[in-house]
Structure 1
Amino acid sequence: MAIQNGLHRVHLGKLPPTILMTGTTTQIMLDAAELLHGNPSMNRPVVIKRMTRMIVNLVAFALGCGVAAFALIAFGIWCFVLPPLVQVLAFFTETAEPEA
């Protein structure tokens, strides 16, 4: 988790954290506290925009957990076959080169 967090902060600093439970949830709570008891020099629109992006990630994570739980109930152990298949498909799929 520390390596993932460090790499994310160095290379993807403008995006919400990918370590959801430790990074995103903590930042949402810090932003909520800042909005409730913030100082006058706080840039409110920036805090609200960041908080909104992170809440979307949190909701997506929760929905993913729900879908995974449903898949386990509906398909049993076979639900674990799909993620490796998707990864193999992604590995062999061509991606566009980023424009410089």
Structure 2
Amino acid sequence: MTDLRSLSSADFTPHLNSVFTLVSEEGLEIAATLVVSTEYPRNTMRGAARTAFDLILECPADGVPHFNGASFTITHPVMGSVGPLYVERVVSAASGPDVARFQIIFN
């Protein structure tokens, strides 16, 4: 499994528009597409080893239960497994009600 401290936005950017599998500690499995990887230089602590960034993943909302944040391991065929990570289901007016949207923040 990948060391979380070594990850950066650049690790994920080549995999935009590809599917990651999110697996919760309770066994919930969600296949979601990585749609955004954004860096936040102004939110990065001085001297930090990496620039703060977040990931946004999306999938059809049908069949995806609502949850208020949970611990998931994410897996990608090229990157392997990363986690556990705190994943929050977020609302986006742009995505609409038929899309489940998830955010992962790396500070």
TM range (shorter): under 0.3
What TM-score results when the alignment is normalised by the length of structure 1? Answer: 0.22
Structure with the higher helix share, 1 or 2: 1
Query: Highest relative contact order (Cα 8 Å, sep 6+), 1 or 2?
Result: 2
Structure with the higher strand share, 1 or 2: 2
What TM-score results when the alignment is normalised by the length of structure 2? Answer: 0.21
- Which has the larger Rg? 1
